[in-house]
Amino acid sequence: MCGIVGYIGHRNCFPILIKGLKRVEYRGYDSVGLALLSRDSFEVFKKVGKVNELEGEISNLSSNSCLGIAHTRWATHGGITEENAHPHVDCSKGIAIVHNGIIENCNELKEELILKGHTFLSETDSEIIAHILEEEYKSNKDYIKATLNTVSKLKGSFALLAVIKDLELIIGARLDSPLTIGIGKDEYFVSSDILSFIEYTDDVIFLNNREVCFIKRDSLTLMNFDGSEIKRDIVKVAKELSDLSNKVFEHYTLKEIHEQTQVVRLALLQDEKRFKTFLEGIKRAKKIYFTGCGTSYHACVLATYLLAKFPKLTSEALIASEFDSIFELIDKDTLLIAISQSGETADLLSCVREAKAKGAKVFALVNNVNSSLVREVDLFLPLNCGPEVGVAATKSFIAQLALLYLISLSLKGDNSMIKELYNLSNSIEEVLKLEEDIKRLALKYKDSKDFYFIGRALHYPIALEGALKLKELSYIHAEGLAAGELKHGPLALISDGTPTLAINPSDETYQRTLNNASEMKARGAKIIGLSDENNSLYDDFIKIPKVMEVFYPIIEVIPLQLLAYYVTLQRKLNPDYPRNLAKSVTVP
């Protein structure tokens, strides 16, 4: 994970790097640092904590540096300490590097470097990059050769940037972690994500795997790892990505929950031809698998119910990191549909690569249309929900669900239900008006030790999602359970006052879920009913509007997102930055 940013040009790079870092902070926020190079100085600043903490500390800096690299970290190797924060420097303190990824052969490389007399200041795998580059540059004084030799020694995944004190350039390299170059007038930006620099330029070059770049103020050179030069076209990316303001809302998470009124409509805006080809691909496939991680996996689970319910197709959902257990079954008759917000999740990407290698067709539903996933699949449909900054997935989940409904209903050819799907935005607006009721519930249940969410059929993936939101934001232990499974074990967990949220709108699952809730209540649970119909069994009740039965999952998840958000505020935590997490999980 981690976010990296660099700038070279004619402006003071400090504010540009700081702003850029804030935009990639979703990739990790354990520590932050930057290296600034100018004619008469080479300075490195680092700190444990978030970008604004470092910014506050060095905001008086009257730097005239127009060249710098910066990093925000999600710790993998080594604890969260200032020593382990990037940039890392070499022994001569003349080279600084920032790195996103994992260097798998770092131990053996480190041993060799120690034997050559190098001293290490951190416990990270990343620091070795600075020392290898130092060795290589010392021996031949040619930065291109030194870079190519360095990357050829590294195994694992990396996007890295380096600066060398006596050279006015930024070196970049990429293997399996994203790196994008923004092109301005006599200036270049480089980052893990175009969001970092989108307000300065919408002209970008995506670095591919096994490529390096050498960025000077007035020129850009791209090469393969073997040293052959590459010409690459500039791509224009959508400027609207720059709308990241969070003015009205206290947190991005809340802003994104509220944006959900627009999300269904936007997700349904698909290019007709592309969409038709997507449907044809599904019809042709003999085996269909869905894969994703976390929230996106919950969308996969719902997808299997929808394909079974509407076009009556059999499919299976598997967590991406578990997929290798069934790789034997993947062949040219298989269609794998990968679902992802970021399109950069490492487990998902490796699954996609493996499936392609076995001859399968691979499609994706993805929000970030500039992501690695988009470049690797045969066909993708965009979620169109705009950048999601809050670490917890909210609006991207609703967009995934809306698109999965559209796909399933189109395969069935049910136009009247598709019309109803377009009308869901009004009901979503109504659900958002429940905010005050949810705040009261959050206050009541904020000190719970455990929390259960139950639901059947289409509501089961929503129970999983409700539990994930609550645990990741508020740190309360939460589980989503298939209501029918309770008596096969989980009922033993229920004791006096355990809150259980029953997702129970009035559809074919209603009576059976009510019976399960009743069994829990008999054992002391407090039941929070989430439904369009109240019932005397419920200790608390969240009333959602009536919608067409099959669409309840789309609206019922919103009160669960709000509950997680407000419980988190009650517990005095920051919902945008849950501990130990990062939004884009780019390490396997």
User: Is 583 annotated in the active site?
Assistant: yes
Q: Which is nearer to ligand F6R, 204 or 392 (CB)?
A: 392
Residue type, 441: L
Site map for ligand F6R, 566-585, x if CB under 6 A? ------------------xx
**What's the min distance (Å) between Cβ of 191 and ligand F6R?**
17
Q: Which is nearer to ligand F6R, 124 or 342 (CB)?
A: 342
Range in contact with ligand F6R (rule: CB under 6 A) among 110-118, 336-344, 420-428, 454-462: 336-344
Q: Which is nearer to ligand F6R, 468 or 547 (CB)?
A: 468
Range in contact with ligand F6R (rule: CB under 6 A) among 2-10, 338-346, 488-496, 552-560: 338-346
Q: Which residue is nearest to ligand F6R (CB)?
A: 294
Size of the site for ligand F6R (CB under 6 A): 15
Q: Scanning residues 79 to 108, which ones bind ligand F6R (CB under 6 A)?
A: none
Range in contact with ligand F6R (rule: CB under 6 A) among 73-81, 342-350, 487-495, 522-530: 342-350
**What's the min distance (Å) between Cβ of 348 and ligand F6R?**
6
DSSP per residue, 324-385: GGGGGG--TTEEEEEEESSS--HHHHHHHHHHHHTT-EEEEEES-TTSHHHHHSSEEEE---
Q: Which is nearer to ligand F6R, 345 or 448 (CB)?
A: 345
Q: Which is nearer to ligand F6R, 3 or 294 (CB)?
A: 294
Site map for ligand F6R, 271-310, x if CB under 6 A? ----------------------xxxx--------------
Residue 195 in the binding site for ligand F6R (CB under 6 A): no
The span from the CA of 303 to the CA of 315, in Å, is 8
Q: Which of 149, 201, 334, 345 binds ligand F6R (CB under 6 A)?
A: 345
Q: Which of 16, 34, 97, 468 binds ligand F6R (CB under 6 A)?
A: 468
Going from the C-alpha of 436 to that of each of 125, 372, 453, 500, 542, the distances in angstroms are: 48, 40, 21, 20, 11
Going from the C-alpha of 533 to that of each of 66, 424, 503, 526, 543, the distances in angstroms are: 62, 19, 11, 18, 7
Q: Which is nearer to ligand F6R, 379 or 493 (CB)?
A: 379
Q: Which is nearer to ligand F6R, 155 or 579 (CB)?
A: 579
- Please identify which of the residues 2, 106, 300, 385 carries the catalytic annotation: 2
Q: Which is nearer to ligand F6R, 176 or 187 (CB)?
A: 176
Please classify residue 85 by burial: count the beta carbons closer than 10 Å to its beta carbon, then call 0-12 exposed, 13-18 middle and 19+ buried.
buried
The span from the CA of 411 to the CA of 156, in Å, is 41
**What's the min distance (Å) between Cβ of 470 and ligand F6R?**
11
User: Is 385 annotated in the active site?
Assistant: no
Residue 457 in the binding site for ligand F6R (CB under 6 A): no
The span from the CA of 15 to the CA of 62, in Å, is 11
**What's the min distance (Å) between Cβ of 473 and ligand F6R?**
8
- Tell me how crowded residue 128 is: count the other CB atoms within 10 A of its CB: 28
Q: Which is nearer to ligand F6R, 146 or 564 (CB)?
A: 564
**What's the min distance (Å) between Cβ of 323 and ligand F6R?**
13
Going from the C-alpha of 403 to that of each of 153, 154, 418, the distances in angstroms are: 43, 40, 11
**What's the min distance (Å) between Cβ of 390 and ligand F6R?**
8
Q: Scanning residues 472 to 501, which ones bind ligand F6R (CB under 6 A)?
A: 472
DSSP per residue, 438-472: HHHHHHHHTT-SEEEEEE-GGGHHHHHHHHHHHHH
Distance of CA 105 to the CA centre of its chain: 26
Residue 462 in the binding site for ligand F6R (CB under 6 A): no
The span from the CA of 230 to the CA of 181, in Å, is 14
Q: Which is nearer to ligand F6R, 282 or 560 (CB)?
A: 560
Tokens encoding 233 = 């076209």
- Tell me the Cα Rg of the chain: 25
**What's the min distance (Å) between Cβ of 391 and ligand F6R?**
6
Of 343, 293, 357, the residue nearest 321 (C-alpha) = 293
Tokens encoding 582 = 């990062």
| Cβ-Cβ contacts under 8 Å for 17 (sequence gap 6 or more) | 5, 6, 7, 34, 68, 69, 70
- Please identify which of the residues 46, 255, 469, 583 carries the catalytic annotation: 583
Which residues, listed in sequence order, are joined to residue 527 by a DSSP beta bridge? 500
Residue 8 in the binding site for ligand F6R (CB under 6 A): no
**What's the min distance (Å) between Cβ of 368 and ligand F6R?**
8
Residue 561 in the binding site for ligand F6R (CB under 6 A): no
Q: Which of 342, 370, 448, 561 binds ligand F6R (CB under 6 A)?
A: 342
Going from the C-alpha of 386 to that of each of 25, 313, 389, the distances in angstroms are: 17, 31, 9
**What's the min distance (Å) between Cβ of 578 and ligand F6R?**
9
**What's the min distance (Å) between Cβ of 268 and ligand F6R?**
19
Residue 256 in the binding site for ligand F6R (CB under 6 A): no
Longest C-alpha distance within the chain, in Å? 80
Going from the C-alpha of 97 to that of each of 40, 160, 354, the distances in angstroms are: 19, 7, 31
DSSP per residue, 63-115: ----EEEEEEE--SSS-SSTTTSSPEE-TTS-EEEEEEEEETTHHHHHHHHHH
Please classify residue 126 by burial: count the beta carbons closer than 10 Å to its beta carbon, then call 0-12 exposed, 13-18 middle and 19+ buried.
buried
Residue 65 in the binding site for ligand F6R (CB under 6 A): no
Q: Are 561 and 469 in contact (CB under 8 A)?
A: yes
**What's the min distance (Å) between Cβ of 496 and ligand F6R?**
31
Residue 70 in the binding site for ligand F6R (CB under 6 A): no
Range in contact with ligand F6R (rule: CB under 6 A) among 110-118, 173-181, 339-347, 425-433: 339-347
Q: Which is nearer to ligand F6R, 294 or 382 (CB)?
A: 294
Q: Are 66 and 110 in contact (CB under 8 A)?
A: no
Q: Scanning residues 367 to 426, which ones bind ligand F6R (CB under 6 A)?
A: 392-393
Which residues, listed in sequence order, are joined to residue 158 by a DSSP beta bridge? 101, 176
Residue 348 in the binding site for ligand F6R (CB under 6 A): yes
| Cβ-Cβ contacts under 8 Å for 108 (sequence gap 6 or more) | none
∠262-268-274 over CA atoms, to 5°? Answer: 145
What are the catalytic residues? Answer: 2, 583
- Chain residues binding ligand F6R by CB under 6 A are 293-296, 340-342, 345, 348, 392-393, 468, 472, 584-585
